[in-house]
Structure 1
Amino acid sequence: MTQAEEIAGPPPAQEDSTVRGWSGVAVLAAATFTVVTAEMLPVGLLTPMGAALQVSEGRAGLSLTITGVVAAIAAPLLTSALGRFDRRRVFGWLLAVVALGNLGAAWSPNFGVLAAARVLVGIGMGGVWAMAAAMAVRLVPVKSAGPATALVFSGVAVASVLGIPAGAFLGALAGWRVAFLATAALAVLVLLAVAAVLPRMTAGQAVSLGGVLRLFGYPQVRTGLLIVAFLVTGHFAAYTYVRPVLERVSGAGPATIGTLLLVYGIAGVIGNFVAGNAVVRAPRATLIVLSTVLALTVLALPALGGSLVVAGTLMAIWGLTYGGVSISSLTWVVASAPRFREGASALLTSIFNAAIAVGALVGGLAADVVDVTSAMWLGGVLAAAALLTAALGPAPVDGRVRDS
């Protein structure tokens, strides 16, 4: 086997070009939405979670860090270890693990139990996110591989911008534990849809861990991953603590914060599709714009967010910007290594989730050691670092990699 074959894994197969095939892609998108919602659910629930478990908001934010770290480790390992198994069955197992983790979080009497439950969520989420795109391209004709991948990763974007406000609303209405129970139920429903809609998907040659890691040898891939590391770390350093910041700066209550997060979410869905169209034509320019606007918005919120109108406007801009990050980063990395879609997807998943974990961690340290609004300043600085990386680093050109 050549090195290229080892990295790339099995070529996409035209297994189903019918409505059933696209239905399967939609189910995969629902799966990514579910697992990323489960990962990010604590963001909108930090205040009541911390109060119930008698821990600080910074420590409660570690529930996001734990899941991100586990997912970052699990993504490449599971892609390699489970590559030869029927993907439909593997997906069912992973969604069951996510459901169990959310049930454990809902029941948790203390932070230790919550942490253990979040480990389970990280395992399931890392595997689902890493495998979904590669599965999608096997359900549709080769010419539709790009749109299928975009649809699957739209689940990530929509979860990032709608899952959190939905959890916050449900938490405000019925309590934070009910939000975790609802997410567990959603995971079970998607599991049933996977069993009903997806065909058996036997794997070919598994992608080795070494093959995935060798993608770091592509300079455009390294640049894209570094942009993701800065941008996502900065976003989550700030966004993990957006609820206590809004409470302090604007005096908003739970219902108002839920509304502001919903505004953020709606804007983010729009941003996903706007950026998806732009990044294909101009990946560097798109990520420069996203990084610039995100940096300015995050820095402005603690200074100008005393007015609810201004806070709402800034949250809408923030959502519009961050909504485009997942599809833009995926497009950059895949265009940098177009023959190695599965390995690139696993590597991006690992870095993305490591950045989520580090962002929640450093944001929590800033919130506990300095002040909760300092998490916003940290986020703005890291987004500026992403801007510099996007502007100065090597970028994919016309979807091709210039090997060096």
Structure 2
Amino acid sequence: MSIVKTQPSETSGDINDRWSPVIAVALSTFTVVSSEMMPVGLLTPIADTLSVSEGTTGLSLTITGIIAAIVSPFVPALIGLHDRKSVLVTFMLLLALANALTAIAPSFLLLASARIFLGISMGVVWGLAAGLGPRLAPSARVPFATTLIFSGVSIASVLGVPLGTYIAMALDWRAAFWALALLGVIAAAALTIALPALPAHQTSGVAGTAGVLRNRGVAAGMVITALVVVGHFAGYTYARPVLEVDAGMSAGLVVVCLLIYGLAGVVGNFTLGPFAGRCTKAATVAALAGVALATFVLPFATASTVAVLVVLIVWGVSYGGVSVSTQTWIGKADPARVEASAALWAGVFNASIALGAFAGGLVIDCAGTGAVMLSASLITLVGLIVAVMSRPQPEASPKMNAEPRTRV
């Protein structure tokens, strides 16, 4: 890894007292996650229009996740010394273009092609945004800044997917992607106005990025992230069929359920997020335990709408804290290489989304909705065991571990 020190342009008086840069990044994460997750709320109408199965339509998430997972770990090496602000703005505009291409896609092949561009954009934006908290806030406020940045993830579930589902009901599923294209342009404009220049403080080659895995705390955090995200998306990608088929809900009631789930996710983000700054392991364990429990119980709760809503609230609160708690885990384990570890974490996160959506599609097509939720629970449970047995503390250097000599 080569280190290049650059005098930062942001000053504490300028940035630390203003939250507009953090909010602009949060808007970007909201747009990215809304764009990625939109097929979840539109699975059935997209499948009907393009004459493919719901399992095939779910591959649109897999494609995006795979591309983002490939791109994210290489972001520090690829962008080198380029100003991070300029890179973020450029790839938010590419994301807007990808959504516009999705909106006009006449076939699943062309829709999948558009989602490749979306995956590239996601990989870069996630790879940078995940580690920006320490650059946009003073040390005492970094946990809240990170929580605010990742609030875009949970708020996307509240406003993004349900609103897109509502737009599809009122107009057409393509209109939802046109709305996302416009939002991408707005997010790029917000980044242009609000962010200061973000010159590179260091560059990391591919070997340097992969090298963070030699830290046991980072490696454990990556494994935990992979397992909970695979488990979550194996189930959540196919939540709509569960609600429609097993619980017999109408499309309108499904929208309400997704909205309540999303609101719970916001609560989880702003509850578990700051808590993760103080008690990282406890917050991570709580988040994974809730996801494992909710995905296990949901198939048994479909006889009652109230029971379904209770399970979705538990699921939403729990998963709402996953992004910020796992990223905090990674950052605490190796605070000296935040950008490199954040880029690798983003790659793991997106690869896990792809694997989860793909695995869930295979299970639901072969064994049905109950089996897909049980699989999601078991995978998450393994992640919970790893979290209980691990810790995020940074490893002590050899000098710190050495026994002090006693003078005689």
TM-score bracket for this pair, using the shorter chain length: over 0.9
Do structure 1's residue 98 and structure 2's residue 87 form an aligned pair? no
> Given residue 375 of structure 1, which amino acid in structure 2 is its aligned partner?
V
> How do 1:33-182 residues align onto structure 2 when only pairs under 5 Å count?
33-160=30-157, 162-182=159-179
Query: How do residues 137-286 of structure 1 correspond to structure 2 at under 5 angstroms?
Result: 137-160=134-157, 162-286=159-283
> Quick check: 1:12–1:142 contact (8 Å CA) kept in 2?
no
Distance in 1 between the 2:67 and 2:121 partners? 9
- Decide which moves more: 293-302 or 234-243: 293-302
Q: Please list every run of 5 or more consecutive structure 1 residues that lacks an aligned counterpart in the other structure.
A: none
Alpha carbons of structure 1 residues 370 and 34: separation in structure 2 relative to 1, 3 Å? same
RMSD, aligned CA:
2.1
Amino acid across the alignment from 2:21: G
SS in 2 for 1:28: helix
Mapped contact 1:28–1:136 kept (Cα < 8 A): no
Amino acid at match of 1:298: T
1:99 positional shift:
0.6
Compute the TM-score of the two structures, normalised by the length of structure 1: 0.92
TM-score when normalising by structure 2: 0.92
Mapped partners of 2:139, 2:296: distance in 1 = 43
What code does the residue aligned with 2:185 have? Answer: V
Cα offset for 1:310?
1.1
Contact 1:297 1:314 in 2 (8 A): yes
- Once the two structures are TM-superposed, the CA of residue 168 in structure 1 deviates from its matched residue by 2.0
**Cα distance in 1 for residues equivalent to 2:8 and 2:223:** 28
Partner Cα separation in structure 1 for residue 367 and residue 128 of structure 2: 39
In structure 2, what is the equivalent of residue 395 of structure 1?
391
Question: CA 1:236–1:11 in structure 2 vs 1: closer, same or farther (change >3 Å)?
Answer: farther
Runs of 5+ in structure 2 lacking a partner?
399-408
Partners of 1:402 and 1:41 lie apart in 2 by 43
Q: Residue 14 of structure 2 is aligned with which of 18, 40, 52?
A: 18
Equivalents in 2 of 1:278, 1:143: separation in Å? 14
1:29 equivalent among 23, 26, 31: 26
Q: Go from structure 1 to structure 2 and tell me whether the alpha carbon gap of 1:316 and 1:337 turns closer, same or farther (over 3 Å shift).
A: same
Displacement of 1:21 after TM fit? 4.6
Q: What do the CA deviations read for 1:104-141 (whole angstroms, capped 9, x no partner)?
A: 11111111001000001111111111112444533444
Letter of the structure 2 residue corresponding to residue 258 of structure 1: V
Deviations 1:198-218 (A, max 9, x none): 233332432222111101101
Change (3 A) 1:142 1:28: same
Give distance in 2, aligned partners of 1:239 and 1:9: 43
1:85–1:202 contact (8 Å) kept in structure 2? yes
Does the Cα contact within 8 Å between 2:12 and 2:138 map onto a contact in 1? yes
Q: How many Å separate the matches in 2 of 1:11 and 1:152?
A: 24
In structure 2, the residue corresponding to 1:138 is in which secondary structure?
A: helix
CA contact (8 A) 2:74 2:343 kept: no
Larger radius of gyration: 2
What SS is found at the alignment partner of 1:200? Answer: coil
Residue 359 of structure 2 is aligned to residue 365 of structure 1: no
- Percent sequence identity is 39
How far residue 318 of structure 1 moved from its aligned partner, in angstroms, is 0.8
User: What displacement does 1:54 show?
Assistant: 0.6
Compute the displacement of 1:143 (Å). Answer: 4.6
Residues 340-359 of structure 1 correspond to what in structure 2 (within 5 A)? Answer: 340-359=337-356
Question: How far off is 1:62 after superposition?
Answer: 0.2
Determine if contact 2:29/2:149 at 8 Å carries over to the other structure. Answer: yes
Could you tell me which amino acid in structure 1 is paired with residue 80 of structure 2? G
Aligned equivalent of 2:401: none
Give the whole-Å Cα distance in 1 for the aligned partners of 2:206 and 2:123.
Answer: 15
> Contact 2:35–2:180 at 8 Å: present in 1 too?
yes
1:396 alignment partner AA? P
